[in-house]
A and B are shown apart, each in its own frame.
Chain A
Amino acid sequence: MRIELLFPDACYLGGDTANFEYLCRALPEAETVRTGIRQRPAFMDGDVDMILLGSMTERAQVLARDALAPCLDRIRSLIDGGTVFLVTGNAIEVFGQYIGDEDGTRTGMLGLFGYHAERRMMARHNSLYLGELDGKKIVGFKSQFGHCYGSTEAPLFRTLRGVGLNPDTEGEGVLRNNFMATYLLGPLLIMSPPFMRYVLELLGRPDAPVPFEAAALAAYEQRIGEFENPRVRMID
């Protein structure tokens, strides 16, 4: 088992790194790799079972694009081969066609998927999210400048309350084979133990214990209760 966290020196916002740490704790036998923005990704030279990329600054989006651009063919083959990807927060935008800004500029991205992002730097979107994956409830948070439009991929989550990939779309995130990308940011796997369980199953380790499962479930159930409460405002 090999798990690679991409670019923790440039893509580290919103507590996303905790997903990697949670996996490390759940799978202590796994080889874990932290690849810096100027290093060659481990997945280029060998098999990896899971790759994570987290939220980042707008400048880091360009750095991440440049770092991954030479790896596109390999990324495509890994996706086709069923490697698990977890892409969180605005990292989702890096895999689209481009990011459009209010002044009309377009910053080209990797173009792995057909969608593009529209970014509004003075209009931050903050919201709570309640969705469903594989019949299990998923809770999370969004905090972002952009939304993605034009996706033809299957969504990762079915939205129950909150905003999807954009305010006019019900589905949230992108799912192709085991490539999972979502605007939800932060410690997703900790906040939604069923999602952690789902990922462990994808990795072929359904038997692996979810660390501190009772405490995680208690917080998860409290949050579901809050997010299902109609008096709780989902969009800030």
Chain B
Amino acid sequence: MGKLRFIAALWAAKLCRPLLRLLGRNATNFPGEVALRICPDFLGQIGKPGRIVAVTGTNGKTTVCNIIVSVLERSGIRPLCNREGGNIASGISAALAQGASLTGKTKYDVGVLEVDERSALRIFRYIEPELLVITNLTRDSVMRNAHPAYIADILTSAIPKKTKLILNGDDLITVGVAPENPRAYFAIDSLPGDTVELRNRIDDLRVCPRCAGELKYVYRRYHHIGKAVCAVCGYTNPEPDYLGTDADPENRRITVRERDGDWSCRLLSDSTFNIYNIVTVAAALREFGLARDVIAAALEKTELPSSRFHAAEGGGVTAVMQMAKDKNAFAISRVFDYLSGLPGKKEIIMMNSCIEDHVHGSENVCWMYDCDFEFLNTEEITRIVVTGPRYRDFYMRLLMAGVPEERLRQTPKELDAPKELALAEGEDVYILYGTAGIELAEKVQAATLREAESRRSQA
């Protein structure tokens, strides 16, 4: 009966995809939902690749997964991945169903799976990755993830005992996950912007995770990411197995230092966040067994997915779509920090409300007061247009951050936002959008360029 149920679930999941395509819709995780409804232990029964690299963590897991997949593909390995289906149990079920034969045997030797950290208990009950990358554990949606120590506890209880962990050694919350498991650490050497002082509103590690003693930071990259030492028990960051060093964001290069030698690879972006992504990828693929030169050569040809960062020019301005993951104060603070450090005058359209929350509810905006809107209080950011469902909350928050009223504009409708921009020749416009807002952001980007072109032709 169990096997029949599984086969029914598998075939139903496989049928969903062409049916959805006929209806003109993307498959997403729906086939997996169907499979799990028919066969709740579908993940246990479905065939899985012999080697699985899983990636979890609060930020960067999608990008890291995409880059790992890209490098593997360029190296001649075709991995199964859950890029289309999503990172919860249904998304992974959908990907495994798609990658299996009609009897449920997998057609892949290697899998690269992005795993939602909150879903780890459900997923790792059935899937035992060979390698599990944890990018970082930071503040996320207070509604879903509460706080990073809570997520660390979930991961510790969920991760299979034999799985080797690849952990961010600059993040002492991540370092504490599943202490009995085998592990390797990656980290980034000191960077020009490092400080000792806290520049952020969020710091989830102000006291020692072991003894609650005072943590003294040797250097801080941002928030609790950096190197700290407990003044009471001496607890500190581990020595990294993969150290990103001599980072040269301008020329997009970094050296990866391993215990037996250095090698150089390309950075895909100049942001610290993406420097971490590359060092994470390097560590994961080295642990997977790829040669240094193979990884380095593949990274030369790899680009960041355009859904996260996409620039277009028109009318004398550049309009950049920049994802700012809604309700994630940490991730958005990183974006604000990055924007504030970019040279040149710029304007911002802030439309990263959580669109999904406004279908039947209202967004919990507490995150705004954990987020560093203060970074936007710089003369280089000449105008900020707040828009979307929470435009009034954005406006209030920016006032609290000290941004002068004359630099702010507000309009409820996103597509009206470009009209509120100054659009000075040579200026960049950053369109900050949330996870469900990419299509709308594309329209706003197009409208911004049209507006710029229209003003230029009238000038």
Q: Which A residues, 141 to 185, have Cβ-Cβ distances below 8 Å to chain B?
A: 141, 143, 145, 185
Could you say which residues of chain A place their CB within 8 Å of the CB of B362? 128, 223, 226-227, 232
Asked whether A190 and B361 contact (CB < 8 A) given A14-B370, A145-B146, the answer is no
Chain B residues numbered 189-225 whose CB sits less than 8 Å from any CB in chain A: 201-203, 206-207, 212, 214
Using CB atoms, name the residue of chain B closest to A188. B366
Specify which chain B residues have a CB less than 8 angstroms from the CB of A143 in the assembled complex: 142-143, 146, 364, 366
Q: Which residues of B contact A57 (CB under 8 A)?
A: 147, 149-150
Cα–Cα, bound, A59→B365 (Å)? 25
Please, how many angstroms separate the alpha-carbon atoms of A52 and B396 in the complex?
A: 22
Q: Which residues between 339 and 366 of chain B lie within 8 Å of chain A, taking CB atoms?
A: 360-362, 364-366
Residue B392 is within 8 A (CB to CB) of chain A in the complex: yes
Q: Interface code A6-27, partner B: CB below 8 Å = 1, 0 otherwise?
A: 0001101111111001100100
B367 contacts A by Cβ under 8 Å:
yes
Given contacts A190-B396, A215-B395, A236-B143, contact A141 B206 (CB under 8 A): no
Q: How far is the CB of B338 from chain A (nearest CB, A)?
A: 22
> Does A216 count as interface, using CB distance less than 8 angstroms?
yes
Partner of B368, one of A13, A15, A21: A15
Cβ contact within 8 Å between B366 and A59: no
For residue B402, give the distance in angstroms from its CB to the closest CB of chain A.
Answer: 10
Tally of B interface residues using CB under 8 Å? 31
CA distance in complex: A16, B370 (Å): 8
Q: Which residues of A contact B365 (CB under 8 A)?
A: 141, 186, 191
Alpha-carbon gap, A191 to B400, bound state (A):
12
| Assembly CA distance A223 to B143 (angstroms) | 18
In Å, the complex CA distance between A236 and B143 comes to 9
B399: nearest residue on chain A (CB-CB)? A212
Residues on the B chain within 8 Å of A215, using CB: 392, 395-396, 399
| A14 and B361 contacting across the interface, CB-CB below 8 Å | no
Question: Given A190-B369, A219-B393, are A236 and B361 also a contact pair (CB < 8 Å)?
Answer: yes
Contact with A along B386-410 (1 / 0, CB 8 A): 0000001101100110000000000
A13 to chain B, nearest CB (A): 6
Q: Knowing A128-B361, A232-B360 are in contact, say whether A15-B396 is a contact too (CB < 8 A).
A: no
Instruction: Flag if A219 contacts B143 (CB, 8 Å).
Output: no
The reply to whether A63 and B364 form a contact with Cβ atoms under 8 Å apart is: no
The reply on B259 being an interface residue by CB < 8 A is no
For residue B408, which residue of chain A has the nearest CB?
A: A215
Contact of B369 among A18, A37, A121, A124 (CB under 8 A): A18
Interface magnitude class on chain A: 35 or more
Taking CB atoms, residues of chain A closer than 8 Å to B203 are: 12
Tell me whether B364 and A187 are in contact (CB under 8 A).
Answer: no
- Interchain CA distance A13-B138 in the complex, whole Å: 12
- Given the known inter-chain contacts A59-B149, A143-B142, please indicate yes or no for A15 contacting B366, CB distance below 8 A: yes
B144 within 8 A of A: yes
| Any B CB within 8 A of the CB of A107 | no
The answer, yes or no, to whether A233 is at the interface (CB within 8 Å) is yes
Determine how close the nearest CB of chain B comes to the CB of A138; give it in whole angstroms: 15
Complex Cα distance, B363 from A219, in Å, reads 12
Complex contact B364–A141 (CB within 8 A): yes
A232 adjacent to B361 (CB under 8 Å): yes
* A9 to B206 alpha-carbon distance, docked (Å): 6
Alpha-carbon gap, A21 to B143, bound state (A): 23
In the bound complex, how far is the Cα of B142 from the Cα of A73, in angstroms? 34
CB distance from B145 to the nearest CB of A (A): 9
| Complex Cα spacing A141 to B365, Å | 8
Interfacial residues of chain A within 1-58, with CB under 8 A of chain B in the complex: 9-10, 12-18, 21-22, 25, 37-38, 57-58
Bound-complex Cα distance A168 to B361 (A): 22
Is B207 a contact partner of A9 (Cβ separation < 8 A)?
A: yes
Docked pose: A42 CA to B286 CA in angstroms:
53
Tell me which residues across on chain A come within 8 A of B392, comparing CB atoms. Answer: 215, 218-219, 222
Cβ–Cβ contact A216 & B369, under 8 A: no
Closest Cβ of chain A to B406, distance in Å, is: 14
How many Å from the CB of A122 to the closest CB on chain B?
Answer: 8
> In residues 177-236 of chain A, which contact B (Cβ within 8 Å)?
185-187, 190-191, 211-212, 215-216, 218-219, 222-223, 226-227, 231-234, 236
Chain B residue with Cβ nearest A139: B362
Residues in A whose Cβ lies below 8 Å from that of B393: 219
Contact B370 A15 (CB under 8 A): yes
Residues of B within 8 A of A185 (CB): 142, 366
Closest to A226 in B: B362
Cα distance A13–B141 in the bound complex, in angstroms: 11
Q: A219 touches which one: B367, B370, B396 (CB < 8 A)?
A: B396
* Whole-angstrom CA separation of A117 from B437 in the bound complex: 38
B396 touching A212, Cβ below 8 Å: yes
Q: Residue-by-residue, is A77-97 near B (CB-CB < 8 Å gives 1, otherwise 0)?
A: 000000000000000000000
Whether the pair A13, B142 counts as a contact (CB closer than 8 A) is yes
Partner of A187, one of B142, B147, B366, B395: B366
Q: For the complex, what is the distance from the CA of A127 to the CA of B367, rounded to whole Å? A: 15
User: Which residue of the partner chain, among A18, A121, A227, contacts B400 with CB atoms under 8 Å?
Assistant: A18
Contact residues, B8-31 vs A (CB, 8 A):
none
CB neighbours (8 Å) of B202 from chain A are 12
Max chain B C-beta neighbours (<10 A), residue from A14, A22, A234: A14
8 contacts between A and B (CB under 8 A): A13-B147, A37-B207, A58-B150, A124-B146, A186-B369, A190-B369, A219-B392, A236-B143
Other contacts beyond A124-B143, A215-B396: 5, CB < 8 A: A15-B367, A17-B201, A37-B207, A57-B149, A233-B361
Closest 7 CB pairs of A and B: A15-B369, A186-B366, A18-B369, A219-B392, A9-B206, A15-B366, A141-B364
Which residues of A approach B to under 8 Å, CB–CB?
9-10, 12-18, 21-22, 25, 37-38, 57-59, 63, 121, 124, 126, 128, 141, 143, 145, 185-187, 190-191, 211-212, 215-216, 218-219, 222-223, 226-227, 231-234, 236
